[in-house]
Amino acid sequence: MIDSVAQSLKEMIWLLAGLLTVLSIEIPVCAQNGNVGTLGVPTSNRQDVQTPDKPLTIVSSPLHLRNSAAPEWSRYPKIAKRRRLDLEFEAQTNALEKVLRLRQIDVKQSWSIQLNGQPVGKLKKDQNDLTSLYRIKAGLLKNGLNRLEIFPAKEMQPNDDIEIGPIFLIDESQSAYLRQGHLSINVADKSNPNVLLPCRITLVDLVGSLVPFAADSDQKIAFREGVIYTIDGKVQLTLPAGEYRVFAGRGFEYSRDEKKITIVNGSEVQVSLAIGRAVDTVGWVSCDTHVHTVTHSGHGDCKINERMLTLAGENIELPVATDHNKQIDYETASREMGARKYFTPLIGNEVTTDFGHFNSFPFAKASNVPNHRENDWGVLIPSIMKTPNVRMVILNHARDVHRGYRPFDPAFFNDVTGASLNERPFLFNGIEVINSAAQQSDPFQLLHDWMAIVNRGHHVIPIGSSDSHDVNKFIVGQGRTYIRCEDRDPGKIDVDAAMNNLVNGQVSVSLGLMAQISVNGRYSSGDLVPVATQAGKKIRVLCQMSGPHWVKGNKIQLFENGVLIREKLVKEETDSTADSFLHEVEWRLDQRKHDTFLTVLVTGPGVFHPSWPLAQPYQPVSPVWESRIFGVTGACFLDADGNGRFDSAFDYASNLVAQSKGDLKTLVGQLTDFDEAIAAQAAGLLQERSGNLLEDTVASIWRKGSPSVRRGFTRYLAAWRRYHGSSLQQ
């Protein structure tokens, strides 16, 4: 509730600000005891005086800045009033260090802070709502007017809408300010209060901004503004006086607890919180296949010892170390940090080439590192697969540009037929459909890409991962893959069994929700269902959606061969006493005339809560974005023709095109008994050979076909047009 209300209020505020901007009405943003300036610039005759217990208010409410003319996000005004913050305020020279306290929201690019022409620091490149402290060294302030500037650090960088403020000048050193009060936090297991749990603790002020604090380095914790990961469920902090909210959680499977506290100067406050298992994942191992450290990847901020704490704190039972072009073993670090009993680490490698990134695992210790300079997929991927123990090669963030190359650019990939258009063979056996640190403007685009690839006949597994390089900027395990496997002892996962089931597609991918499928009461993702042996009987498909109490799920969808065939809207849970929810629906399908695959997608509104906020799109293609959480199952295959294997849409289309001997009328007639996915594959084969499906005489033939034929041909040609830039006449 807190996040949805806050988001609605924020959108209303910016809508009003945009209207006032269009009307050229100046908004007073720094109310003083004296006169009020415009554009965030106070007049010089202010009368209030800073005292040790009264900070000097420089900016009293959030201001919107934009580093370019075009908006980054549609929720901000179309016309930005400010490209930089440039204001004057009255103060006195400082003989001792003081502190600048600044709240920032939605910062993605580089912004500099200057005081009286001298650099103070930079805003943190972090889109979270957080409050940071900056040291003002002795003598930097002067008597009378002082000038504070915040401006884009680089002239040429992508669009960035940010919010800045409030900003205060604190009459204390940073060290003294951070030690005004003491706070002790314990987080216990709800089912056994004597057991403390590894967890994530989030500390915010009453407006939801992550706040600064201090902690002793000898504690086994990883922390950034407002966030602490603790391996033993306890932490001791010092922090400024004020009112706060404290949250405790442990990733998607656990409940969340919270307390409101007040810290006064010299106080010692103790807080006890309790969390417990909420989502039923018995028999499923939680895996993050894409995990980095700054120690070995060289960017981000999470050191290897800190990573051990974040993995345990988010309950990732099978983490894969995937630093760039390195094979790192977490075994020693996890034991040193007391985390090894909470997970079974795998050695992986994000093989980072000029033409795509590939997460590969598990590697044996001392295995040769793959040649990341090899750009021929037909050489690279088989060579990785030949490395001892390696079972998975995953194509990462296929819609993002790295080193100037986007693997699934429309010039290289048809997203309806799953065809490679640049002769790079799809030999990988996994593809990220969720990368929580590199989300897409369309959150389901990669999911549809995966379904198209399966229709093309490739055995490729959907993967969820976090791609986290950080302690908090992007949360490790937020995107994750559940693998069907015994999980009673997370420190002793049967790696061979887990890898066998992963390769076979016995998975469920999660970004805040869990999806499950059961066909005829027996079969699930990765299974081949012998429906041909049950002639005349309905195919029973049970679809489930589950999640913890702190998220919402409102839609269950069933896809067949990548096409939506059933959908149910469900009422969002309002029971505040329940730790979790479960929705299910059973659909009964008629017997199929050809093989298909089924996938369940469950979705809900995005999460903005500071304890588990979703990241915005990494490389947005639109200023409009609707945040969604979701879960999706692996494919469940229906063997309708009874030949004991799964035949893909491409397999059927290839046979039909061959049987028709190039006669379009014959082919269109044959396609009547097949779905639009097969029709789309047939259209692709014909267009590759003749390239004339848009000619009037040819188009008139397929447009007289069945509805599934027309839909399939139209969808294919729409994708073809995205590459060729042609005009498709309907």
Separation between Cα atoms, residue 375 and residue 194, nearest integer Å: 55
Query: Which of 473, 476, 4, 10 lies closest to 210, judged by CA?
Result: 473
What's the rounded mean pLDDT across residues 440-454? Answer: 97
What's the rounded mean pLDDT across residues 616-641? Answer: 96
Q: What is the pTM of this model?
A: 0.91
Look at 241-250, 320-329, 683-692 and tell me which has the smallest mean pLDDT: 683-692
Q: Quick one: pLDDT at residue 5?
A: 43
Tell me if 347 sits within 8 A of 291, measured CB to CB: no
Mean pLDDT highest for which of 5-9, 23-27, 475-479?
475-479
Residue recorded with tokens 């980054």? 72
Q: Quick one: pLDDT at residue 170?
A: 97
Residue 633 Cα to chain centre, angstroms = 17
Of the three residues 159, 177, 195, the one that is the final residue of a domain is: 177
Q: Quick one: pLDDT at residue 50?
A: 55
Residues 144 and 193 in one domain: no
Give the pLDDT band of residue 725 (cuts 50, 70, 90). low
Q: Quote the tokens at residue 603.
A: 């979705």
Residues 408 and 368 in one domain: yes
Query: Which of 720, 676, 724, 723 lies closest to 702, judged by CA?
Result: 676
- Is residue 573 predicted with pLDDT exceeding 80? no
Q: Quote the tokens at residue 135.
A: 């040291």
Q: Quick one: pLDDT at residue 724?
A: 76
Residue recorded with tokens 């001792």? 96
The continuous run of DSSP H or E covering 395 comes out as strand 392-395
Tell me if 513 sits within 8 A of 631, measured CB to CB: yes
What's the rounded mean pLDDT across residues 619-640? Answer: 96
The per-residue pLDDT for range 652-662, each reduced to its tens digit, is 999 999 999 98
CATH code of the domain containing 380: 3.20.20.140
Give the pLDDT band of residue 21 (cuts 50, 70, 90). very low
Look at 29-33, 463-467, 519-523, 670-674 and tell me which has the smallest mean pLDDT: 29-33
What's the rounded mean pLDDT across residues 487-501? Answer: 98
Of the three residues 258, 275, 292, the one that is the final residue of a domain is: 275
What's the rounded mean pLDDT across residues 500-529? Answer: 98
Q: Quick one: pLDDT at residue 571?
A: 87
The per-residue pLDDT for range 328-362, each reduced to its tens digit, is 999 999 999 999 999 999 999 999 999 999 999 99
Tell me if 393 sits within 8 A of 383, measured CB to CB: no
Of the three residues 586, 617, 638, the one that is the final residue of a domain is: 638
Give the pLDDT band of residue 225 (cuts 50, 70, 90). very high
Question: Chain-wide mean pLDDT for the chain?
Answer: 91
Residues 289 and 370 in one domain: yes
Asked whether residue 364 is assigned to any structural domain, the reply reads yes
Q: Quote the tokens at residue 701.
A: 């033939």
Residues 673 and 557 in one domain: no
Q: Quick one: pLDDT at residue 662?
A: 81
Q: Quick one: pLDDT at residue 53?
A: 62
The per-residue pLDDT for range 578-608, each reduced to its tens digit, is 899 999 999 999 999 999 999 999 999 999 9
Separation between Cα atoms, residue 7 and residue 703, nearest integer Å: 46
The per-residue pLDDT for range 111-136, each reduced to its tens digit, is 999 999 999 999 999 999 999 999 99
- Is residue 65 predicted with pLDDT exceeding 50? yes
Residues 370 and 440 in one domain: yes
Phi/psi-derived region of residue 444, left when phi > 0, alpha when psi is between -120 and 50, beta in every other case: alpha
- Is residue 2 predicted with pLDDT exceeding 60? no
The per-residue pLDDT for range 452-485, each reduced to its tens digit, is 999 999 999 999 999 999 999 999 999 999 999 9
Asked whether residue 484 is assigned to any structural domain, the reply reads yes
Our count of domains for the chain comes to 4
- What DSSP string describes 618-654? SS-SSS----EEEEEE--EEE--S-SSSPPPHHHHHH
Residues 499 and 587 in one domain: yes
Residues 457 and 489 in one domain: yes
Residues 611 and 687 in one domain: no
Residues 526 and 560 in one domain: yes
Asked whether residue 171 is assigned to any structural domain, the reply reads yes
Q: Quick one: pLDDT at residue 28?
A: 30
Residues 397 and 298 in one domain: yes
Residue recorded with tokens 């060729």? 724
CATH code of the domain containing 111: 2.60.120
Q: Quick one: pLDDT at residue 708?
A: 96
Q: Quick one: pLDDT at residue 32?
A: 26
The per-residue pLDDT for range 262-303, each reduced to its tens digit, is 999 999 999 999 999 999 999 999 999 999 999 999 999 999
What's the rounded mean pLDDT across residues 198-219? Answer: 95
Asked whether residue 729 is assigned to any structural domain, the reply reads no
R_g (Cα) of the chain, nearest Å: 28
Residues 221 and 351 in one domain: no
Share of the chain above pLDDT 90, in %: 86
Burial class (CB in 10 A: 0-12, 13-18, 19+), 69: exposed
Asked whether residue 518 is assigned to any structural domain, the reply reads yes
Asked whether residue 239 is assigned to any structural domain, the reply reads yes
- Is residue 3 predicted with pLDDT exceeding 50? no
The per-residue pLDDT for range 152-197, each reduced to its tens digit, is 998 778 899 999 999 999 999 999 999 999 999 999 999 999 999 9
Asked whether residue 199 is assigned to any structural domain, the reply reads yes
The per-residue pLDDT for range 32-57, each reduced to its tens digit, is 222 222 223 332 333 345 555 689 99
Entry field: residues in the chain? 730
Could you tell me the residue range of the domain that residue 508 belongs to? 284-638
Asked whether residue 730 is assigned to any structural domain, the reply reads no
Residues 446 and 555 in one domain: yes
Query: Which of 584, 517, 594, 518 lies closest to 547, judged by CA?
Result: 584
Strand partners of residue 258: 247
Between strands 318-321 and 346-347, the pairing is: parallel
The continuous run of DSSP H or E covering 10 comes out as helix 2-22
CATH code of the domain containing 248: 2.60.40.10
What's the rounded mean pLDDT across residues 545-571? Answer: 97
Query: Which of 268, 249, 250, 271 lies closest to 260, judged by CA?
Result: 271
Alpha-carbon dihedral 440, 441, 444, 449, rounded to 10 degrees: -60
